[in-house]
Amino acid sequence: MNYWLMKSEPDVFSYDDLVKKGREHWDGVRNYTARNNLRAMKKGDLAFFYHSNTDKAVIGIIEIVKEAYQDPTTNEEQWVCVDVAPKEKLKHPVYLIDIKANPKLAEMKLVKLGRLSVMDITKKEFDEIMRMSRKS
DNA sequence: GCCAACGTTGGC
DNA sequence: GCCAACGTTGGC
């Protein structure tokens, strides 16, 4: 079981949009590091859904329901996508500013590699963000 | 293979 | 809207 964090601009595709759809392709990734992470995902892995730009917060948990396959939005063979489904919306969003302020999360790629859109996180980081989401 | 120029992302 | 960070491209 691996843990991930995936970014989306909520104006383009939000967690609530995913809930409405029930399941969606996570396509359009055109970055090699992010692509490698997509390829490493296993069915059943969990990922945080992060809203960039307007919210800058982790909103919910999603589950990988289909492993990497050719991205249908391009003919270039090197790009892949996965399918995801909503798992659970966090009780409270966990904001980037609070993640940055938490020393336990200082090593997160979210903080260190600001532009990476699909990243791996540790179970400790996953658990810590879950803990933060339970209090307002 | 180096590196400057350029484009994109995303926080502020 | 600006700009820093950084990945990618292309000339040499």
Per-residue pLDDT of A58-96, as tens digits, reads: 999 999 999 999 999 888 888 999 999 999 999 999 999
> Does the CB of A74 fall within 7 Å of any strand C atom?
no
Domains of chain A: 3-133 (3.10.590.10)
pTM: 0.93
A34: pLDDT confidence band, cut at 50, 70 and 90?
Answer: very high
Stated as kind and residue range, the H or E segment containing A60 is strand A57-70
pLDDT at A136 over 70: no
DSSP A74-102: -S-TT-EEEEEEEEEEEEEEEEHHHHHH-
Instruction: Compute the average pLDDT of residues A23-28.
Output: 95
The pLDDT value given to residue A31: 93
Cβ(A103)–Cβ(A47) under 8 Å?
no
Q: Which nucleotide is nearest to A100 (CA to C1')?
A: B11
**Distance from CA(A114) to C1'(B12), angstroms, rounded:** 13
